[in-house]
């Protein structure tokens, strides 16, 4: 094999890496100062870029556009940091990160509503000047990006290490309550951190729009590979974040001339981050910060009165009866459109259940559950096209396949938890997106990948007993009920007790000779299995799946919506399923602009995370409980 | 506020259009649609649907918007022999699940007689089975992935990215004698490979070296991709990407100052009014595009009517591009078919039968050849186009209407011969 001349790719990669690095620096600064991994950073940068473009393109002086863009980015970041972030400041770091996804969705919706996803070019005067290095023309814009990255990094290191404000920021990030008690002006310091990160996000947004492409959606979700660079330094070290960003840029570029790896080269950030974290973990850096106590039991409702077994039986009977009524009634009254929407909701409820298990039972966060849904769908489709056996067999295959991968994806959980586990699993979800884009879902072709390249696509048949939409709705509802029973059975068995102990304290569990490794793995495998079934059912809905449906952001969204629904309650996953499919379905049915729907969804996400830590299900069940207590009081008063 | 910004954008676009083409719309008189009676139709409505990707990674709605405008015009001009068309346009947001929901709504709940003007990356694959089961046909505006050209119930008025790419390469071969091509396409099965394979097969028969680079649509570093393309020492880089991807690729190529070292061509996706200005003066006379339909500056009756219909019945910010023309044609031709039918008997079964039974093609001066549905198991009636080049913030037509020689079209051509549509 002839090794191509890699020099130009290294130069090109360094220039791209500089932009990764600059964005990663902004992520690290904010995390160090306020403990938030800002998933909205890409969206804030995109806003800055699009405002700069708009002003430049309407005939205004370009420099006014750049300043206006950066000021807008700072303003949005500051407003969020001042008004909304403090309200979730006491939540878990993962919840704080997920809340910023709400902001990202709102911004994305606003940008798409006003500007749309059209190809645009954001020109900078420095584009026309350049130097030739190893046969590559490096524009001054790229040199500026590289220089700015170094400058910001060194400046920030000095700022955090040598100034009072920097000291206050570090104190705040470490122990928010204690810092406040010691007289650190929490809100002022927070505001500074958010404004600074907004400033950098604004500048890097303009640079990214110039160097990569000027599109809101693209820039918004660029944040996920950018986070990879930040993770390499545990979201702590600025130097490593910069080095990581540059390394990712170079490795990604070097893969270009090799056709066999080229389709997978965008995997680089994700693989890099996972390897870096595992390496750090092996070398004694603690990665448990902010994780202990997650999924605290106090969020759950207190132990119910009366015989638990009796109550559980009554609950199961009531659940099954309700499901029966729904299964019989809905197809009779719902239109074909709504039947489809509700079928998807039921399927997604299963996916949410899979996410809730890990969160509620183990107190851990996995942000790759939707990727596992994709894995389940892939395996189900592949096995069906290969063997043409009954649907149920494919469904089981999908479940088992996703369980196996879920188990592997869960391996990091043996050694880490909290935010780092969430970020590692997010990287896995990002990696899945790249792989599925390269291989797509099978549609009846030959070979392992099973793609047809010339001819009509083949579809997976629905189960023999559920070929119509109405029957398939009932089928999926049945699967959901079985999924619930399966989880309930686990909760009430030895596994459930072991999980509860692990959640409380791994040390306690260990001393009570609970096999922590086995039970953790079992939980991840179970969650994977349910996600896989969810994927198989989704594949059966249309008979095929599409690669665009499984971006990493969907996994974050699935977790967010599971939280909103209420991960600790039986009602939660059902609400989550409805939120994910029925609410957009309703907005769509009313012909409300899809971008407005995104804004509504993002705002709803923020609102729910701020106002309802126990989720909507918690609120509903609390209300029901209060009514019961009230009714009892009234009865007692009457008796008196 | 939205309206004012969009109005501003539209104003800019209109000024541009005026600058670019001396505003042919101005020359056009009142739009002519259907029976052209000037009287509003009041009979029982005929339900027609359409599915486009409006929100999502890119706005692919202009085809459906054009169909909506034409139907509005028809309804004000006598409808289908007195019956107005009730057109429901759904957004699939580039999500197959949502596309399937939209199909359920249109096909089952709204009981549409046909789908017209659709334009989507995902709906062909998601809904093919639904359409076949319900015996409803799609007269699409724009088909993109392979599924759209291999479906029994789907026939679009555009040619598809595969033919558009090949048309561009064929032209460049004829004009500049290029010997080596790099085809850059998104790494999406059924789109990227489908788009470049036609060029590859044709290149093999003509002794032209064709290298294919499939890129991750989310790839950030277009510079590396441009460098890799240049490592094959090509005469031509064929950018088989959506418009935004081509723009990003050209920006990277401009940064590398490749404008004079290699030629660039692209499929019809780049052909809209803003594109030459967006990519900037550096690319003057350097970027060629194959147009799946006729160029905007053609002063022919139907072309002027397209402008007139849009000006009167569509919002100003609807894009004027090839896809928009394709939607207009889809609407115009389904109306033409339905006008020949007994208005009392227009339903799904009769419309499907009429389309499947077409013995001759329908013509327009916007398209290079006849369009038909016919009985075939796959449809690709449009396989010709023109070529234009960017020049001074506008497109200048280079060659009008020539056929594309895709070896894989043999079955389609055979069907046409059998039906007597073409000799």
> By C-alpha distance, which of A268, A283, A199, A201 is closest to A234?
A283
**3-state secondary structure at position B158:** coil
What pLDDT, on the 0 to 100 scale, is given for residue A3? 65
All residues of chain B having their beta carbon less than 8 Å from the beta carbon of residue A117 are 56-59, 244
In CATH, which superfamily holds the domain spanning B2-160+296-376? Answer: Response regulator (3.40.50.2300)
What pLDDT, on the 0 to 100 scale, is given for residue B286? 93
Q: How large is the average pLDDT for residues A261-287?
A: 78
Please, are residues A461 and A391 in contact by the beta-carbon 8 Å criterion? yes
- Residue A278: pLDDT above 80? no
Interface test with A, best of B52, B54, B68, B97 (most A CBs within 10 A): B97
Record: contact B244-A543, CB cut-off 8 A: no
What pLDDT, on the 0 to 100 scale, is given for residue B1? 40
What pLDDT, on the 0 to 100 scale, is given for residue A413? 80
> By C-alpha distance, which of A155, A153, A207 is closest to A19?
A207
Q: Kindly give the confidence (pLDDT) of every residue in chain B, 423 residues in length, as a single tens digit, with 9 standing for 90 and above.
A: 444 455 455 444 444 444 444 444 444 478 899 898 888 989 999 999 999 998 888 888 999 999 999 999 999 999 999 999 999 999 998 888 899 999 999 999 999 999 999 999 889 988 988 999 999 999 998 999 888 998 899 999 999 999 999 999 999 999 999 999 999 998 877 888 888 999 999 999 999 999 999 887 777 788 888 988 998 999 999 999 888 889 999 999 998 899 999 999 999 999 988 899 989 999 999 999 999 999 988 889 999 999 999 999 998 888 888 999 999 999 999 999 999 999 999 999 999 999 998 888 899 999 998 999 988 888 999 999 999 999 988 999 999 899 998 888 888 898 888 888 876
CA dist., res. A409 & res. A354, Å (int): 14
Interface test with B, best of A60, A542, A545 (most B CBs within 10 A): A542
All residues of chain B having their beta carbon less than 8 Å from the beta carbon of residue A548 are 57, 94-96, 121-122
Q: Please check whether residue B159 touches A, CB under 8 A.
A: no
Mean pLDDT, rounded, of chain B: 88
Pull the structure tokens for residue B379.
């449809």
CA dist., res. B250 & res. B278, Å (int): 10
Record: contact B55-A593, CB cut-off 8 A: yes
How close B220 comes to chain A (CA, Å)? Answer: 5
What pLDDT, on the 0 to 100 scale, is given for residue A600? 85
Give the A:B interface size as CB pairs under 8 Å.
Answer: 214
Percentage of chain A beyond pLDDT 90 is: 26
Record: contact B100-A341, CB cut-off 8 A: no
Better-predicted residue by pLDDT, B118 or A211: B118
Tens of pLDDT, residue by residue over A72-118, are 999 999 999 988 888 888 788 888 888 898 999 999 999 999 988 88
Interface test with B, best of A331, A337, A450 (most B CBs within 10 A): A337
Domain with CATH 3.40.50.2300 in chain B: 2-160+296-376, 161-291+386-407
What pLDDT, on the 0 to 100 scale, is given for residue B297? 87
By mean pLDDT, which of A291-305, A447-461, B29-43, B348-362 is the weakest?
Answer: A291-305
User: Backbone phi, then psi, for B236, in 5-degree steps?
Assistant: -145, 135
The two most distant CA atoms of chain A are separated, in Å, by 94
CA dist., res. A106 & res. A604, Å (int): 10
By mean pLDDT, which of A148-162, A170-184, A202-216 is the weakest?
Answer: A170-184
The model's pTM:
0.87
- Residue A284: pLDDT above 60? no
What pLDDT, on the 0 to 100 scale, is given for residue A297? 40
Please name the residues in contact with B414: beta carbons below 8 A apart, sequence gap of 6 or more: none
What pLDDT, on the 0 to 100 scale, is given for residue A292? 33
Q: Please check whether residue A517 touches B, CB under 8 A.
A: no
What pLDDT, on the 0 to 100 scale, is given for residue A285? 55
Q: Please check whether residue B358 touches A, CB under 8 A.
A: no
Beta bridge partners of B289: B266, B388
Beta bridge partners of B88: B49
User: CB neighbours (10 Å) of residue A167?
Assistant: 16
Question: CB under 8 Å, gap of 24 or more: what pairs does A156-162 form?
Answer: A156/A25, A156/A29, A156/A238, A157/A238, A157/A239, A160/A29, A160/A32, A160/A33
ipTM (interface predicted TM)? 0.85
Q: Please check whether residue B54 touches A, CB under 8 A.
A: yes
Record: contact B244-A117, CB cut-off 8 A: yes
Record: contact A213-B150, CB cut-off 8 A: no
Per-residue CA distances from A438 to A129, B266, B293 (Å):
36, 23, 32
User: Could you say which of B54, B221, B278 has the minimum Cβ distance to residue A253?
Assistant: B221
Better-predicted residue by pLDDT, A255 or B26: A255
Residues 217-246 of B with CB under 8 A from A: 217-225, 227-228, 231, 242-246
Residues 67-86 of A with CB under 8 A from B: none
User: A378-387 in b/e burial notation, b at 16+ Cβ within 10 A?
Assistant: bbbbbbbbee
CA dist., res. A420 & res. A427, Å (int): 10
Interface test with A, best of B61, B87, B160, B227 (most A CBs within 10 A): B227
**3-state secondary structure at position A499:** helix
CA dist., res. A222 & res. A433, Å (int): 13
Q: Please check whether residue B190 touches A, CB under 8 A.
A: yes
What pLDDT, on the 0 to 100 scale, is given for residue A71? 96
How close A424 comes to chain B (CA, Å)? Answer: 20
Record: contact B55-A263, CB cut-off 8 A: no
Beta bridge partners of B384: B403
- Residue A464: pLDDT above 60? yes
Tens of pLDDT, residue by residue over A19-30, are 888 889 889 888
What pLDDT, on the 0 to 100 scale, is given for residue A397? 94
Q: How large is the average pLDDT for residues A33-53?
A: 91
Q: Please check whether residue A258 touches B, CB under 8 A.
A: no
User: Could you say which of B2, B108, B129 has the minimum Cβ distance to residue A336?
Assistant: B108
CA dist., res. A607 & res. B12, Å (int): 38
All residues of chain B having their beta carbon less than 8 Å from the beta carbon of residue A132 are none
By mean pLDDT, which of A338-342, A607-611, B289-293, B419-423 is the weakest?
Answer: B419-423
DSSP states of A53-116 as a string?
A: HHHHHTTS-HHHHHHHHHHHHHHHHHHIIIIIHHHHTTS-HHHHHHHHHHHHHHHHHHHHHHT-
- Residue A123: pLDDT above 70? yes
Domains of chain A, CATH where assigned = 21-219 (no CATH), 331-626 (1.10.3470)
User: Could you say which of B56, B101, B216 has the minimum Cβ distance to residue A585?
Assistant: B101
Q: Please check whether residue A491 touches B, CB under 8 A.
A: no
CATH level 3 topology of B161-291+386-407? Rossmann fold (3.40.50)
CA dist., res. A632 & res. A640, Å (int): 12
Mean pLDDT, rounded, of chain A: 85
Tens of pLDDT, residue by residue over A407-438, are 988 887 877 777 888 888 899 999 999 899 88
What pLDDT, on the 0 to 100 scale, is given for residue A2? 59
CA dist., res. B412 & res. B422, Å (int): 11
Q: Please check whether residue A223 touches B, CB under 8 A.
A: no
């Amino acid at each position: 094999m002839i090794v191509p001349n890699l020099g130009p790719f290294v130069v090109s990669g360094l220039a791209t890496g500089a932009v990764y690095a600059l964005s990663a620096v902004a992520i690290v600064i904010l995390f160090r100062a306020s403990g938030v991994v800002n998933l909205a950073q890409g969206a804030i940068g995109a806003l800055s870029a699009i405002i700069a473009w708009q002003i430049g393109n309407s005939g205004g002086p370009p420099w006014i556009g750049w300043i206006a863009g950066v000021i807008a980015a700072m303003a949005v970041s500051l407003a969020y940091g001042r008004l909304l972030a403090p309200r979730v400041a006491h939540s878990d770091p993962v919840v704080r990160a997920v809340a910023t996804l709400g902001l990202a969705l709102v911004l994305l919706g606003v940008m798409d509503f006003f500007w749309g996803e059209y190809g645009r070019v954001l020109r900078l005067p420095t584009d026309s000047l350049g130097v030739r290095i190893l046969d590559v023309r490096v524009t001054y814009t790229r040199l500026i990006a590289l220089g700015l990255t170094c400058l910001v990094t060194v400046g920030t290191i000095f700022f955090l290490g040598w100034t009072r404000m920097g000291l206050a920021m570090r104190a705040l990030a470490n122990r928010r309550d204690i810092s406040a008690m010691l007289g650190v002006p929490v809100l002022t310091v927070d505001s500074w951190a958010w404004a600074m990160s907004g400033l950098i996000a604004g500048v890097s947004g303009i640079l990214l729009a110039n160097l990569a492409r000027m599109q809101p959606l693209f820039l918004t979700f660029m944040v996920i590979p950018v986070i990879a660079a930040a993770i390499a330094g545990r979201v702590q070290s600025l130097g490593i974040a910069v080095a990581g960003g540059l390394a990712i840029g170079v490795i990604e570029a070097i893969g270009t001339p090799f056709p066999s790896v080229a389709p997978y080269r965008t995997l680089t950030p994700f693989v890099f981050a996972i390897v870096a974290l595992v390496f750090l973990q092996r070398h004694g850096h603690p990665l448990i910060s902010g994780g202990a106590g997650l999924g605290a039991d106090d969020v759950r409702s207190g132990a119910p009165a009366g015989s638990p077994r009796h109550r559980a039986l009554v609950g199961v009977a009531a659940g099954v009866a309700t499901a029966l009524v729904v299964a019989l009634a809905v197809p009779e009254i719902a239109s074909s459109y709504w039947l489809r929407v509700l079928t998807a909701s039921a399927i997604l409820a299963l996916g949410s259940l899979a996410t809730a298990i890990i969160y509620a039972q183990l107190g851990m966060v996995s942000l790759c559950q939707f990727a596992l849904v994709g894995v389940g769908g892939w395996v189900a489709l592949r096995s069906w096209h290969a063997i043409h056996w009954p649907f149920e067999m494919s469904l089981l295959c999908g479940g088992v396949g996703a369980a196996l991968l879920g188990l592997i994806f869960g391996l990091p959980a043996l050694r880490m938890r909290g935010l780092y586990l969430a970020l590692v699993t997010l990287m896995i979800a990002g990696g899945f997106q790249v792989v599925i884009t390269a291989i797509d879902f099978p549609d009846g072709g030959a070979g392992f990948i099973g793609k047809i390249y010339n001819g009509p696509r083949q579809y997976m048949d629905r189960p023999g007993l559920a070929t119509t939409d109405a029957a398939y709705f009932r089928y999926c509802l049945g699967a959901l009920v079985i999924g619930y029973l399966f989880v309930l059975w686990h909760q009430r068995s030895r596994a459930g007790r072991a999980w509860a102990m692990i959640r409380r304290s791994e040390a306690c569990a260990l001393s009570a000779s609970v096999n922590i490794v086995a039970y953790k793995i079992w939980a991840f495998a179970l969650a994977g299995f349910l996600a896989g079934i969810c994927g198989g059912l989704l594949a059966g809905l249309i008979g095929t799946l599409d690669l665009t449906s499984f971006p990493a952001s969907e996994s974050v969204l699935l977790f967010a919506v599971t939280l909103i629904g209420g991960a600790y309650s039986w009602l939660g996953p059902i609400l989550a399923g409805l939120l994910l499919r029925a609410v957009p379905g309703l907005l769509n049915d009313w012909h409300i602009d899809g971008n407005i729907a995104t804004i509504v969804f993002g705002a709803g996400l923020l609102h729910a995370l701020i106002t309802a830590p126990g989720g909507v299900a918690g609120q509903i069940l609390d209300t029901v409980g209060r009514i019961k207590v009230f009714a009892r009081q009234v009865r007692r008063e009457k008796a008196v | 506020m939205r309206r004012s910004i969009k109005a501003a954008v539209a104003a800019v676009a209109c000024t541009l259009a005026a600058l670019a083409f001396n505003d042919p719309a101005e020359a056009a008189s009142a739009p002519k649609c259907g029976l052209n009676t000037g009287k509003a139709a009041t009979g029982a409505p005929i339900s027609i649907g359409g599915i486009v990707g409006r929100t999502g990674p890119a706005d692919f709605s202009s085809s459906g918007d054009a169909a909506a405008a034409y139907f509005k015009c028809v309804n004000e001009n006598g409808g289908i022999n007195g019956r107005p068309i009730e057109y429901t346009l759904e957004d699939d947001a580039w999500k197959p699940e949502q596309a399937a929901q939209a199909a359920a709504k249109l096909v089952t709940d709204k009981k549409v007689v046909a789908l017209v003007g659709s334009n989507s990356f995902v709906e062909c694959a998601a809904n093919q089975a639904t359409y076949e089961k319900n015996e409803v046909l799609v007269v699409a505006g724009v088909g993109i992935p392979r599924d759209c050209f291999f479906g029994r119930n789907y026939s679009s008025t555009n040619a598809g990215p595969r033919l558009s790419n090949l048309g561009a390469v064929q032209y460049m071969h004829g004009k500049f004698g290029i010997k080596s091509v790099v085809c850059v396409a998104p790494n999406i099965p059924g789109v990227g490979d489908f788009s470049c394979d036609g060029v590859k097969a044709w290149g093999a028969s003509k002794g032209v070296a064709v290298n294919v680079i499939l890129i991750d649509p989310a790839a950030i570093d277009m510079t590396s991709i441009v460098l890799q393309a240049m490592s094959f020492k090509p005469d031509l880089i064929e950018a088989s990407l959506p418009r935004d991807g081509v723009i990003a690729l050209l920006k990277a190529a401009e940064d590398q100052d490749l404008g004079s070292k290699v030629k660039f061509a692209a499929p019809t996706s780049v052909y809209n009014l803003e594109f030459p200005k967006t990519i900037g003066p550096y690319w003057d006379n350097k970027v060629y595009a194959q147009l799946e339909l006729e160029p905007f500056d053609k002063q022919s009756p139907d072309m002027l009517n397209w402008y007139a219909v849009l000006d009167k019945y569509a919002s100003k910010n609807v894009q004027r591009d090839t896809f928009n023309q394709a939607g207009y044609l889809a609407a115009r031709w389904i109306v033409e078919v339905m006008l020949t039918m007994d208005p009392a008997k227009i339903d799904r079964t009769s419309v499907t039968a009429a389309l499947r039974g077409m013995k001759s093609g329908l013509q327009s001066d916007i398209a290079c050849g006849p369009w038909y549905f016919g009985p075939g198991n796959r449809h690709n009636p449009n396989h010709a186009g023109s070529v234009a080049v960017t020049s001074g913030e506008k497109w200048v037509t280079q060659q009008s209407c020539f056929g594309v020689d895709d070896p894989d079209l043999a079955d389609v051509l055979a069907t046409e011969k059998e039906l007597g549509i073409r000799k």
